[in-house]
């Protein structure tokens, strides 16, 4: 009876949440809408601009995710009780500040706090000042200075555009000549636009990558389950970096105790410092880590849910996500623990031919109706309804198939069995998501 009363009190505290707006149009936003839709607290979900998959669960409105003024007006007119921001660009551009100034509740960090992702130099400088383990680095805005620095070092080099680049602004170079060419493309030829006014050049770290997502209200921290992304376009971690080609959850090489220690070392100092500066971080913080022989090192911070990590993590989350977001948005994270499905999850991304380079749009997606197994989900990313009423491609990453399984191996088999039912002209996906950990760690 006592547990029932506590649950009822929690529900009553947040019973008036009729309208939620989710900003964005990708796979991350689809899984967020899907998760929010499961909450008994919510009556109506809007998505701006949404996609063909999101439209099955929410009312899509034709407002660009980066049009902050129009989004704010829509939220005010529709009496939106909570806005959830999916992508990083509106966060870095100050959507939270704009909404809060208008008295609108919103989930995400302010513009000042979002610099953690908006400027890699800002994040690296902050880590260095606080003693957070990260690769040694230097920052440059001139090619000649960067060249002088690199000729004194031994490759490989990790070269990063300072600003936002849709997950594609990190390049690993194996020779001095290649490194100088990349720096010139970024700084002088503006390969990533104004995001490349400066570059951060880092030492190359080796180990297993790890993604950690956590909720924070600027003080309290609540980690989610660990996951691992696969950034390279092709099997065997070959090809260019992408926004992510697949992920699995949880990571068998990290225990819950280790996960908590990692958070204390790599996240808490930064959250405390931003709070001390008067720019508290409230929202979802993403830690991109490298598990080196010397311990965990921070590769990057992101200021929103990872994509495709969200498609692997959130299907396992049994706790209602809406009260969590409300607590964070209100600056009072009271939830102390999360409930998880004991099954593992693997998400495999299908991409358009040519991605992450130029790609065509408008190809029909066939076989979506064939994926109907229990515990298997198709999360749309770059999709829309075509003139014929059929779902067609509208982006580089088209969709992700996520599958739950009693073991990581079973989740792997179910995800790949399902994605083979879907056909896109020229579409491709990696066939080895989670394969290395299955082979190297002999996990089930």
With respect to residue 148, please indicate whether it lies within any of the assigned structural domains: yes
What's the confidence (pLDDT) of residue 14? 56
What's the confidence (pLDDT) of residue 13? 55
CATH of residue 36: 3.40.50.20
The verdict on 30 and 76 lying in the same domain is yes
Report the domain count for the chain: 2
The verdict on 111 and 148 lying in the same domain is no
The verdict on 108 and 20 lying in the same domain is yes
Rounded-to-integer distance, Cα 122 and Cα 119, Å: 5
The verdict on 111 and 140 lying in the same domain is no
- Predicted TM-score (pTM) of this structure: 0.94
Give, to the nearest 10 degrees, the angle between helix 256-266 and helix 268-276: 30
Residue range of the domain that includes 45: 11-115
The verdict on 110 and 15 lying in the same domain is yes
Q: Which of 58, 82, 115 is the last residue of a domain?
A: 115
CATH of residue 161: 3.30.1490.20
The verdict on 110 and 47 lying in the same domain is yes
Cβ atoms within 10 Å of 180's Cβ, excluding its own: 19
Q: Which of 203, 237, 262 is the last residue of a domain?
A: 203
The verdict on 109 and 175 lying in the same domain is no
The verdict on 19 and 107 lying in the same domain is yes
The verdict on 87 and 143 lying in the same domain is no
pLDDT by residue, tens only, the chain of 444 residues: 333 333 343 444 556 688 999 999 999 999 999 999 999 999 999 999 999 999 999 999 999 999 999 999 999 999 999 999 999 999 999 999 999 999 999 999 999 999 999 999 999 999 999 999 999 999 999 999 999 999 999 999 999 999 998 878 899 999 999 999 999 999 999 999 999 999 999 999 999 999 999 999 999 999 999 999 999 999 999 999 899 999 999 999 999 999 999 999 999 999 999 999 999 999 999 999 999 999 999 999 999 999 999 999 999 999 999 999 999 999 999 999 999 999 999 999 999 999 999 999 999 999 999 998 999 999 999 999 998 889 999 999 999 999 999 999 999 999 999 999 999 999 999 999 999 999 886 666
The verdict on 38 and 98 lying in the same domain is yes
With respect to residue 296, please indicate whether it lies within any of the assigned structural domains: no
With respect to residue 222, please indicate whether it lies within any of the assigned structural domains: no
With respect to residue 418, please indicate whether it lies within any of the assigned structural domains: no
The verdict on 56 and 106 lying in the same domain is yes
With respect to residue 302, please indicate whether it lies within any of the assigned structural domains: no
């Amino acid at each position: 009876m006592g547990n029932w009363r506590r649950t009822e009190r929690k529900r009553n505290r947040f019973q008036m949440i009729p309208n939620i707006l989710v900003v964005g149009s990708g796979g991350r936003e689809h899984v967020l809408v899907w998760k929010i839709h499961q909450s008994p607290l919510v009556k109506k979900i809007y998505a701006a601009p949404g996609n063909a998959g999101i439209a099955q669960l929410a009312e899509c409105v034709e407002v660009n995710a980066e049009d902050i003024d129009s989004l704010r007006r829509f939220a005010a007119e529709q009496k939106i009780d909570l806005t959830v921001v999916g992508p990083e660009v509106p966060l870095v551009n100050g959507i939270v500040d704009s909404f809060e100034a208008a008295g609108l509740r919103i989930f995400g960090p302010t513009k000042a706090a979002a610099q953690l992702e908006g400027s890699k130099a800002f994040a690296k400088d902050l880590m260095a000042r606080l003693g957070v383990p990260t690769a040694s680095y230097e920052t440059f805005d001139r090619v000649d200075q960067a060249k002088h620095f690199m000729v004194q070092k031994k490759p490989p080099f990790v070269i990063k555009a300072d600003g936002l680049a849709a997950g594609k602004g990190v390049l690993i170079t194996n020779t001095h000549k290649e490194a100088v060419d990349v720096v010139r493309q970024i700084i002088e030829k503006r390969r990533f636009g104004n995001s490349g006014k400066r570059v951060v050049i880092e030492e190359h770290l080796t180990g297993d990558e790890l993604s950690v997502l956590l909720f924070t209200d600027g003080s309290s921290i609540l980690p989610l389950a660990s996951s691992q992304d696969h950034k390279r376009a092709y099997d065997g971690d070959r090809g260019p970096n992408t926004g992510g080609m697949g992920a699995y959850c949880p990571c068998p090489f990290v225990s819950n105790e280790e996960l908590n220690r990692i958070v204390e070392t790599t996240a808490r100092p930064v959250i405390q410092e931003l709070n001390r500066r008067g720019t508290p971080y409230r929202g979802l913080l993403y830690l991109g880590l490298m598990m080196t022989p010397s311990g965990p090192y921070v590769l990057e911070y992101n200021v929103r849910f990872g994509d495709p990590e969200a498609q692997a993590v959130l299907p396992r989350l049994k706790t209602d996500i809406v009260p969590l977001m409300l607590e964070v948005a209100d600056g009072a994270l009271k939830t102390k623990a999360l409930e998880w499905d004991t099954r593992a999850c693997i998400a495999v991304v299908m991409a358009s031919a040519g991605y992450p380079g130029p790609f065509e749009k408008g190809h029909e997606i066939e076989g979506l109706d064939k994926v109907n197994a229990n515990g298997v989900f198709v999360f749309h990313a770059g999709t829309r309804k075509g003139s014929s009423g059929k779902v067609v491609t509208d982006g580089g990453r088209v969709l992700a198939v996520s599958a739950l399984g009693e073991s990581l191996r079973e989740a792997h088999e179910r995800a790949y069995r399902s994605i083979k039912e879907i056909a896109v002209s020229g579409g491709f996906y990696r066939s080895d998501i989670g394969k290395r950990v299955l082979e190297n760690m002999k996990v089930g």
